[in-house]
Amino acid sequence: MDYQLVKAFHLISIIAWMAGLLYLPRLFVYHSMVEVGSVRSQTFKLMERRLLKGIMNPAMIISWLLGLYMIHLNPMLLQEKWLIAKLVCVIFMTYFHMKFAGMRRKFEMDENNKSDKFYRYWNEAPTILMIVIVILAVVEPF
């Protein structure tokens, strides 16, 4: 497959992954403000589960696979310091993904004890990482 086409699908999967990483903690903000066991709580559980399992998990896996495939096609990339820094950021992004999956499980089991303010802070972390990753990939500062 053409390298540019692989790169395009990599970017598409990243967009889908990022959309979920930005939206899921926002759902947690609203979910934490409704009564446990209510119809609204059940709706949030369904939305969170479908977002994570139907969009975020596949998009994360495809992002990683295509990114690693691009490195396989062009192993000289591993000599670029900007790429190493980007990969470290992507590992942190994957950590946030897993952390959000754990938070979703807490909501699913009606065990959430965190406030909406707590989730508002978590909502910012992927945004900051996204900015750093895009700058590293586009500007290649070092």
Quick: pLDDT tens for 121-130.
998 999 999 9
What average pLDDT score do residues 42-65 get? 98
Residue 131 is predicted with a pLDDT of 96
Residue 108 has pLDDT above 90, yes or no: yes
User: Per-residue pLDDT tens for 17-51?
Assistant: 999 999 999 999 999 999 999 999 999 999 999 99
Distance in angstroms (rounded) separating the CA atoms of residues 142 and 121: 30
Residue 89 is predicted with a pLDDT of 97
Domain of 58, in residue numbers? 3-139
Distance in angstroms (rounded) separating the CA atoms of residues 39 and 42: 5
CA-closest candidate to residue 108, choices 57, 43, 33 = 43
Question: Total structural domains in the chain?
Answer: 1
Task: Write down the H helix ranges in 1-142.
Answer: 3-31, 39-50, 57-73, 81-108, 116-139
Conformation bin of residue 38: beta by default, left when phi > 0, alpha when psi is -120 to 50: beta
Supply the pTM of this predicted model.
0.93
